[in-house]
Structure 1
Amino acid sequence: MADQWLQALAHFALSLKDFAPLLIQGTWVTLQLALLSLLLGLSFGLIGAIAKLSPVRFWRLCAQLYTTLIRGVPDLVLMLMIFYGLQTGLSRLTARLGWEYIEVAPFSAGVITLGFIYGAYFTETFRGALLAVPRGQIQAGKALGFTARQCFVYLVFPQMMRFALPGLSNNWMVLLKATALVSIIGLADLVKVAQVAGKSSQQLLSFLLLTALIYLLLSSASNTVVRWLERRYSRGVPEAPR
């Protein structure tokens, strides 16, 4: 039994040596995809939260429709709908205008889809955080002559981030793992590369376990960054008694 395990380990080590560059490239693609999707999702989320708290009923309804539809449909279904919908729409537009055929890149489609999906979750996170900021501080800022932009940048945003960070960090972890869905539309991310390597070397389980380990390492590194951000945005705030 020990000899069989050693042989299997040696075989996996040889396969890993051959596919290591592809795995590194796939990990880099996954990380880029996650970070760009995060930036886009945060933008959607902040705009959505402001719209939900807007005094204008039309914007509140639009934001409510956005969050309800996105959170009620599975991510995989949305991924396929947006990818093929974008491609179909572009094909019809270019055909009507007489332009050359434009193909939607899987990476761009993945960023747009994930950013759009998780923007709905970030919307609720930001909305709750904005509501947690005392209104009196905004009124005090206006009394001191701050513009609306200055009140948001210097008073609201730092406090909002302190309240939003727990929810944002949780959504980021889910978003990081959701990047694996993009392999379905042909992107050579970490999961796709691991599948190819596993099938080619007949070591699929080993490469999937390695993939899980890499995701775990990325999540652990993310926790370190989140803890640093929590300390940064909690400066000057007394800790709760234990």
Structure 2
Amino acid sequence: MNDAFQLIGFDEGAWGPALAKATVVTMEISIGAFIVGILLGLVTALAKLYGNSKLQTIAKTYTTIFRAVPELLLIILFFYGGSALINSIYAYFGHDSVDVAGLPVAIAVLGLVQGAYASEIFRGAIQSVNSGQTEAALAYGMSKTKIFFRVTLPIMAPLALAGLSNLWVNLIKDSALISVIGTNELLYTAKQAGGSTREYLLFFLTAAFIYYVITLISSYLLRILEVYLRRWQPKH
């Protein structure tokens, strides 16, 4: 048993350094996709609420597609389809084929999926803002851009945070889907370690524990952020 647990240490020949590096890759995927998702979600929500008919149609089509198609299928389509497209372009210009890295594909696909869900969270939060406050800002002479950043955004941010927190936790777990295209994130590395040592249960439990710790830390930090965002709101 002690020999088994030494495998997850940081001694020579142990898998601790590889698992630590894989955890960093998992966080890179999650943070990158979350940032992409927030930006896309906010833009899409604004397009749904304030855009013209064409923008609203595009926004609704985007959210429908990326909420309907399984993320695993999207990852496979983007990875292999994107690889074929890029190599076709390279071949057309007389260049050799290239290998498409899994990390940017993971960030792009998961970001697009998160953006589709985040757009509905932002849309609901924006619609929850009291119209009287925006009307008062208009009467004061503020532009629509200033109203959004100084009135709407500070009010909607705490309202959207709960939904975005759930998206973040789900995103950490969804990052494991990238293992299907061979990216050395946490689950893929745990599977490699299990295959090399025949200690599958040990390494999968280790990966599960790391995901759990990441979630606990994330929940704590998000609670601090929520308190900060609500600091100016009246307490009931």
Look up the SS of the partner of 1:236 in the other structure.
Answer: coil
- Ranges of 4+ aligned residues in structure 1 off by more than 3 Å: none
Whole-Å separation in 2 of the counterparts to 1:51 and 1:98: 40
The aligned runs of 1:16-165 (5 Å cut-off) are 16-17=8-9, 18-165=14-161
8 Å contact kept, 1:83–1:113: no
Q: Which amino acid aligns with 1:59?
A: L
Once the two structures are superposed, what CA deviation does each residue of 1:117-144 show, in whole Å capped at 9, x if it has no partner? 1110111111101111112212222222
Hey, what's the Cα distance between the residues in 1 that align with 2:137 and 2:57?
30
Cα distance in 2 between the residues matched to 1:57 and 1:161: 26
Name the aligned partner's letter for residue 95 of structure 1.
A
Q: Which shows bigger deviation, 93-102 or 206-215? A: 93-102
Which residue does the alignment assign to 1:12? 4
Give me the CA root mean square deviation. Answer: 1.2
Greater alpha carbon shift after TM alignment, 89-98 vs 105-114: 89-98
Counting aligned pairs with the same residue, the percent is 34
Separation (CA, whole Å) in 2 of partners of 1:100 and 1:133? 54
Aligned counterparts of 2:200 and 2:51: Cα–Cα separation in 1: 54
For 1:98 and 1:50, the matched residues in 2 are separated by: 42
Q: Deviations for 1:69-104, whole angstroms, at most 9, x for unmatched residues?
A: 111111111111111121111112222233343332
Describe the shift of the 1:144–1:23 C-alpha distance in structure 2 as closer, same or farther (beyond 3 A): same
In structure 2, the residue matched to 1:3 is none
CA shift for structure 1 position 55: 4.4
Deviates more, 1:99-108 or 1:153-162: 99-108
**Consecutive unaligned residues in structure 1, runs of 5 or more:** 1-8
Structural mapping, 1:193-204, within 5 Å: 193-204=189-200
In structure 2, C-alpha distance between the alignment counterparts of 1:144 and 1:87, rounded to whole Å: 53
Structure-2-length-normalised TM-score: 0.94
The structure 1 residue matched to 2:179, chosen from 174, 183, 187, is 183
Deviations 1:183-234 (A, max 9, x none): 1111101111111111111110111011101000000011011111111111
15-24 vs 53-62, greater mean Cα deviation: 53-62
SS at the partner of 1:35?
helix
Q: Take 1:200 and 1:120, find their aligned partners in 2: how far apart are those partners?
A: 39
- 8 Å CA contact 1:48–1:63 kept in 2: the answer is yes
Q: Following the alignment from structure 1 to structure 2, what is the Cα–Cα distance between the partners of residues 138 and 232?
A: 23
